[in-house]
A and B are shown apart, each in its own frame.
Chain A
Amino acid sequence: MPKEQKVGCARPTGSVVGEDAPPQPDQVAPAAVKEVRSMVQVGKKAPDFVAPCYYQGKFASVQLSEYLGKWVLLCFYPGDFTFA
């Protein structure tokens, strides 16, 4: 049965049918070895990317470098229909 849970940004977990599901991510200690991710640095060039987008009623594609010559605010957020 679906189990009601606190409203948040939880993602599915799973296992092979008939076997026990692995523990939820927030119930286990972080893996001992994790991929080391580096943060971008201020004063350095921004990594370029192409991404699909929705803009003014149309589906389109945006490349960051198209905005050279302009100031850009690039904002990430956890998800549509969330709360903050």
Chain B
Amino acid sequence: MSTDSMFVHKMWVDHELSKMVSSGGVPFPMLSDGGGRVGSVYGVYDQDGGVDVRGRFIIDPDGVIQGFEVLTPPVGRNVSETLRQLQAFQVVRGSAGAQATPSGWRPGKAVLTPGPDLVGNVWKEWKVGMAFD
């Protein structure tokens, strides 16, 4: 979603994105936020610049915002990290909140099951090196 019109979105797809995305076009709707109205509500509209800054929101199936990240324009996102967070939220949701994903978790790494026995004992199950890939 940007403050560009849907017509500009079409031109961007036709003239540039189609050369980056191999087949089938851009696989998600490209939303237009004229006047930054939606960005304003989400807190990512920069009034001075007249644009939405680089905000990314993870919204769960109940419509609840589980996480967000906001960057100034010159630095791009890391999609792998976004997907890792999404997978972590899905694991937690799948366990109905019984499990937590510690720092550095990614699919295949151990999750934690919070409870009285784990209090003060996280050090036995989680090592500092696990915070990194």
Chain A interface (Cβ < 8 Å from any Cβ of B): 8-11, 25-26, 37-49, 51-57, 59-60, 62, 64-65, 67-84
Contact partner, B38, options A9, A45, A49, Cβ 8 Å = A49
Q: Identify which of residues 13-59 in chain B touch chain A, using a CB-to-CB cut-off of 8 Å.
A: 13, 16, 25-26, 28-34, 37-45, 48-59
Interface size class of B (residues with CB under 8 A): 35 or more
User: Are A68 and B62 CB-contacts (below 8 A) given A51-B33, A53-B30, A57-B25?
Assistant: yes
Least CB distance from B21 to A in Å reads 12
Instruction: Tell me the B residues contacting A by CB distance below 8 Å.
Output: 1-13, 16, 25-26, 28-34, 37-45, 48-68, 73-77, 82, 86, 89-90
Contact partner of B2 among A10, A44, A69, A77, CB < 8 A? A77
**What's the minimum C-beta distance from A14 to chain B, rounded to whole angstroms?**
13
Nearest neighbor of B51 in chain A, beta-carbon distance = A78
User: Can you list 8 A-B pairs, Cβ within 8 angstroms, ordered by A?
Assistant: A9-B51, A9-B73, A40-B65, A48-B63, A64-B59, A69-B61, A76-B44, A81-B16
Q: How far is the CA of A70 from the CA of B64 in the complex (A)?
A: 11
- The answer on a CB contact under 8 Å between B59 and A80 is no
B36 CB to nearest chain A CB (Å): 9
A74 in contact with B63 given A46-B57, A51-B32 (CB within 8 Å): no
Instruction: Please report the number of residue pairs spanning A and B whose Cβ atoms sit closer than 8 angstroms.
Output: 162
A69, B106: Cα distance in complex, Å: 24
* Assembly CA distance A61 to B9 (angstroms): 14
Contacts of A40 in B (CB 8 A): 41-43, 57, 65, 68
Which among A38, A52, A71, A83 is the interface contact of B59 at CB below 8 angstroms? A71
* The 7 A-B residue pairs with the shortest CB-CB distance in the complex, in nearest-first order: A39-B43, A76-B52, A80-B12, A54-B9, A53-B29, A84-B76, A55-B29
The smallest beta-carbon distance between B69 and chain A, in angstroms, is 10
How far, in whole Å, are A10 and B50 apart by their CA atoms in the complex? 8
